[in-house]
Amino acid sequence: MRRKVIKQRDSYTITLPMKWVKEQNLQTLEELDVTIQERNLVLHPGVLSEQLKEISLDLPSSYTLYIKNLIRNLYISGYDVIHLNFYHENDIIAVKEVVKNLIGYEIIEQEKEYCTIKDITSENQEDFDIILRKIWRTVTLLGELCLEELSGKLTEATHTRIEDLHGDNSTFASFCRRILYKQHTITSEKGLDQYIIIMFLHMMGRNFYAIHSFLKSARCKVKGEVVQLGEKTLRLFTQLYESFYNSKKDPEKKIKEEADRLNKEAMAFLAKDQTQNSVLVHTLAEFIRLVGSTLPKIELVNFLS
């Protein structure tokens, strides 16, 4: 279906298909929501913009991890209201723990056997851009603190800071993925690649956190080779960040070459080392692999922008 664009002073207009107008029961002077999704202009009847995505659920168990993952996944999928009937009255403890880390969600009603969670904020593209930058920054800070730990500078203050950043990493990643669902950009090629980039960034942050957790429990003597590999890995991540925001093609080729080189270096270390250091190098190698997997997604997003 095609429509002619008509110029009228400082704006352009098009006519709406009569069949669609009748189906939506639109009236003269009624307002529509107009959304820009990449190169597409999407029209929504005004009544649709006011509808909340709502769900009611009966919890089948009191397993804490299940409850937290369920609510987090519903949040990411764009639900505005969640009505939960508890399996046990103590389920509210797990609910409160996860809700406090989900931007915009609040428990607005609570009884002994159920609760209602609602999104009390609104999300937009500007929020997405700001929080996405925070994800990059959070992963960088996690890497810098892990390097301090690899160098033998583990302190209680460092531990507390890493725990906070680990929580922020999950909070910010969930929020950005939620916006992609709420704005329906997840269905576009660019939106899907943005979703995957955010997922990979979240996983990279978890890798740095895994190194912290291992060092805190194992207390192993870290070899100089491992510290150097950690420094190179963090520099590689900085290059990835610059590639995402600067859209330069030459650095992307260099990043791929450096990622391949660092991966070979890690594999060579693992082939000869039988100490606890191999656990650290394996985790760094996984981080490097994620950088390599993220790069083509960044290239496509930059191309489509």
The string of pLDDT tens digits covering residues 6-29 is: 877 667 788 888 877 777 777 765
Domain shared by 131 and 255, yes or no = yes
Sort 251 into a burial class: Cβ within 10 Å, 0-12 / 13-18 / 19+.
middle
The string of pLDDT tens digits covering residues 75-106 is: 999 999 999 999 999 999 999 999 999 999 99
Res 139: pLDDT:
98
On whether residue 37 sits in a domain, the answer given is: yes
Res 44: pLDDT:
67
On whether residue 1 sits in a domain, the answer given is: no
Mean pLDDT of 194-206: 98
Domain shared by 204 and 186, yes or no = yes
Domain shared by 290 and 159, yes or no = yes
On whether residue 273 sits in a domain, the answer given is: yes
- pLDDT tier at 134, thresholds 50, 70, 90: very high
What is the reported pTM?
A: 0.82
Domain shared by 140 and 210, yes or no = yes
Domain shared by 183 and 235, yes or no = yes
- Kindly tell me if the per-residue pLDDT of 48 is higher than 60: no
- pLDDT tier at 218, thresholds 50, 70, 90: confident
Q: Which of 96, 119, 142 is where one domain is finished?
A: 119
- Kindly tell me if the per-residue pLDDT of 38 is higher than 60: no
Domain shared by 169 and 277, yes or no = yes
Choice among 69-73, 153-157, 245-249 with the minimum mean pLDDT: 245-249
At 127, list the tokens: 């929020």
- Kindly tell me if the per-residue pLDDT of 247 is higher than 90: no
CATH number at residue 198: 1.20.58
On whether residue 246 sits in a domain, the answer given is: yes
Domain that holds residue 80: 54-119
Q: Which of 67, 93, 119 is where one domain is finished?
A: 119
Look at residues 231, 229, 291, 285 and name the one whose alpha carbon lies nearest to residue 256. 291
Q: What share of the chain is helix, strand, coil (3-state, %, to 5)?
A: 65, 15, 25
Res 97: pLDDT:
96
Domain shared by 206 and 141, yes or no = yes
Mean pLDDT of 64-73: 97
Res 155: pLDDT:
80
Q: Return all residues near 35 (Cβ < 8 A) that are at least 6 apart.
A: 41, 42, 43, 44, 183, 184
On whether residue 28 sits in a domain, the answer given is: yes
Domain shared by 263 and 155, yes or no = yes
Res 10: pLDDT:
66
Q: Which of 97, 119, 141 is where one domain is finished?
A: 119
Domain shared by 245 and 297, yes or no = yes
Question: What's the CA gap between 284 and 30, in Å, rounded?
Answer: 57
On whether residue 243 sits in a domain, the answer given is: yes
Of 28-42, 147-161, 240-254, 273-287, which has the strongest mean pLDDT? 273-287
Q: What percent of the chain has pLDDT over 90?
A: 67
Res 13: pLDDT:
82
On whether residue 218 sits in a domain, the answer given is: yes
Q: What percent of the chain has pLDDT over 70?
A: 92
Q: Please give the tally of structural domains in the chain.
A: 3
Domain shared by 45 and 186, yes or no = no
- Kindly tell me if the per-residue pLDDT of 49 is higher than 60: no
CATH number at residue 87: 3.30.110
Domain shared by 87 and 168, yes or no = no
The string of pLDDT tens digits covering residues 291-301 is: 999 999 999 89
Domain shared by 227 and 245, yes or no = yes
On whether residue 104 sits in a domain, the answer given is: yes
Question: What's the CA gap between 207 and 225, in Å, rounded?
Answer: 18
Sort 184 into a burial class: Cβ within 10 Å, 0-12 / 13-18 / 19+.
middle
Q: Which residue has the higher pLDDT, 206 or 245?
A: 206
Mean pLDDT of 226-233: 97
